[in-house]
C-alpha cells in the first residue's frame, strides 16, 4: 500500500471502465435477447396466423360443402324444374320488336306498381283474346297469334331485373302441352325456387324447417314456406302471364290462393297478372288497377312501327318487281285487320 498509495486512483479508472464494459455487454446481451425474442414471437405469431388461416379455410370449405348440400337438398325437396319457365321467357323476349312496348313502363298504374310502398299490390294487364286472328287476316304470316301480352310480360320482367335489390319471380301459364300443371302447388313451387336461385342462403331455412323434418313439398307446406322466403327478402315483384290459360274451374281459387299467400302487407310483394278479359277473371279483378290493350292508341303506334319495318323488308326483296302502292295497301290492310289486337301482331313474324 506504501508503494501503491495511489492504488485507488490508478485502478478506479480501470474498474470504472470494466463496469462500463460490463454494462455495455449486458445491454448488448439484452438487445440480442430482445431481437431473438422478437424473432421468436414473430415466428410464433406467423405460425398462429397460418394455423388460423388453415382452420378458417377448412371451416370455409366445410361451410361451402354444407351450403351446397343444403342447396341440393332444398332444390330436390321443391321438386320443380324452372328451366321451362326460363325457356318460355327467352322465347317471348326474342320476338319483341325494337322500340315497341316502351310506353307500358310509363303508364301511371305501372309506375305505382313498381314503387316500393304499401299501395295497391295488384295490377291486371288485359286485352282481347287473339282467337280468330289468322282467319281474319286470311294469311299464314303469324307464328303465334296469342303471345302479345306474353311479350309485354317478358319485357316487364327484363325491366324489373334492372332495379337494384328487387327480387323478380315469374310464371308463364300454358295449357297446350301434355302434363302442364298450372296449379297453386306448381306456381308457388316455381316462385320458391326462383327466390332460392337468387338467394342461395335461403336453402338453410328450407332444409332445416321443411326437408330435414320429413315434410312433403305439398301446397299446404308451400303456403307456409313462400311467405317466409318473401319476408326475408321483402322487395319482390311476381309476374304471372296467361292466367286465362288455367282451367276455368280453378281460376278463382288459384287467384285467391296466390293473393293470400304472396300479398300480405308485411311482405312488400306485388303481383302482376296478364289475361284475356274472360268473365270469371273480370269479375274477380274488375276493381283492381289495370292496363288494357283494347283500343289503345299507344298499341296502334307500336303496330304501325312494326308494320313499317316488315314492309321495308318486303320491299327490299321485291325491288323493281312491285309498285310502291302494293306495299302501302298491304300496310293499310294489316293495320285495319288488327282491329285492337295489334299487340298480337307485334309478337309474330313474317
pLDDT tens string for the chain (350 positions)?
A: 444 545 555 566 677 777 766 776 776 666 666 666 667 777 777 777 777 777 777 766 767 788 888 899 999 999 998 899 999 999 888 877 776 777 888 899 999 999 988 889 999 999 875 433 332 333 333 334 445 788 889 989 998 999 889 999 999 998 765 456 778 999 999 999 999 999 999 999 999 999 989 999 999 999 999 999 999 988 899 999 999 988 888 899 999 999 999 999 889 899 999 999 888 898 889 889 999 887 777 776 777 777 777 777 776 766 666 666 766 777 677 666 665 454 444 444 44
pLDDT at position 78, please? Answer: 95
Among 272, 114, 85, which Cα is nearest to 193's? 85
Q: Are 236 and 268 in contact (CB under 8 A)?
A: yes
Output the CA–CA distances (angstroms, integers) from residue 287 to 120, 124, 239, 346, in the order listed. 11, 10, 19, 28
Strands (E), 35-121: none
- Are 238 and 270 in contact by the 8 Å Cβ rule? The answer is yes
Question: For residue 338, what pLDDT is reported?
Answer: 61
Give residue 349's pLDDT.
Answer: 40
pLDDT of residue 343: 41
Distance of CA 6 to the CA centre of its chain: 100
Give the H or E element holding residue 88: helix 83-94
Cell readout for 43 is 415466428
Residue 100 Cα distances to 149, 257, 303, 307, angstroms: 12, 34, 8, 12
Give 347's contacts (C-beta < 8 A, 6+ positions apart). Answer: 92, 95, 96, 144, 145, 147, 148, 150, 151
The ranges assigned to domains in the chain are: 19-78, 82-293
Fold of 82-293: Rossmann fold (3.40.50)
pLDDT of residue 29: 67
* Model confidence pTM above 0.75: no
Amino acid at each position: 500500500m506504501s508503494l501503491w498509495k495511489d492504488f485507488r486512483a490508478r485502478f478506479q479508472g480501470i474498474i470504472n471502465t470494466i463496469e462500463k464494459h460490463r454494462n455495455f455487454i449486458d445491454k448488448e446481451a439484452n438487445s440480442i435477447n430482445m431481437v431473438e425474442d422478437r424473432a421468436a414471437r414473430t415466428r410464433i405469431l406467423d405460425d398462429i396466423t397460418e394455423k388460423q388461416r388453415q382452420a378458417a379455410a377448412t371451416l370455409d370449405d366445410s361451410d361451402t360443402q354444407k351450403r351446397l348440400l343444403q342447396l341440393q337438398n332444398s332444390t330436390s325437396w321443391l321438386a320443380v324444374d324452372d328451366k321451362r319457365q326460363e325457356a318460355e321467357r327467352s322465347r317471348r323476349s326474342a320476338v319483341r320488336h325494337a322500340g315497341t312496348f316502351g310506353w307500358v313502363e310509363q303508364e301511371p298504374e305501372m309506375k305505382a306498381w313498381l314503387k316500393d310502398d304499401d299501395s295497391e299490390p295488384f295490377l291486371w294487364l288485359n286485352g282481347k283474346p287473339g282467337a280468330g286472328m289468322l282467319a281474319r287476316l286470311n294469311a299464314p304470316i303469324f307464328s303465334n297469334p296469342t303471345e302479345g301480352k306474353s311479350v309485354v310480360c317478358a319485357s316487364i320482367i327484363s325491366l324489373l331485373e334492372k332495379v337494384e335489390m328487387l327480387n323478380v319471380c315469374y310464371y308463364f301459364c300454358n295449357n297446350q302441352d301434355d302434363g302442364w300443371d298450372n296449379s297453386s302447388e306448381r306456381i308457388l313451387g316455381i316462385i320458391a325456387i326462383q327466390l332460392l336461385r337468387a338467394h342461395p342462403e335461403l336453402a338453410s331455412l328450407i332444409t332445416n324447417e321443411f326437408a330435414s323434418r320429413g315434410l312433403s313439398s305439398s301446397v299446404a307446406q308451400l303456403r307456409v314456406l313462400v311467405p317466409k322466403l318473401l319476408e326475408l327478402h321483402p322487395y319482390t315483384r311476381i309476374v304471372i302471364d296467361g292466367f286465362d290459360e288455367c282451367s276455368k274451374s280453378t281460376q278463382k281459387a288459384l287467384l285467391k290462393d296466390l293473393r293470400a299467400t304472396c300479398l300480405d302487407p308485411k311482405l312488400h310483394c306485388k303481383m302482376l297478372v296478364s289475361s284475356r278479359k274472360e268473365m270469371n277473371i273480370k269479375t274477380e279483378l274488375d276493381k283492381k288497377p289495370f292496363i288494357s290493350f283494347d283500343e289503345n292508341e299507344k298499341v296502334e303506334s307500336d303496330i304501325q312501327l312494326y308494320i313499317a319495318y316488315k314492309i321495308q323488308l318486303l320491299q327490299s326483296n321485291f325491288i323493281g318487281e312491285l309498285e310502291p302502292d302494293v306495299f302501302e295497301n298491304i300496310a293499310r290492310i294489316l293495320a285495319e285487320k288488327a282491329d285492337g289486337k295489334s299487340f298480337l301482331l307485334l309478337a309474330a313474324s313474317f
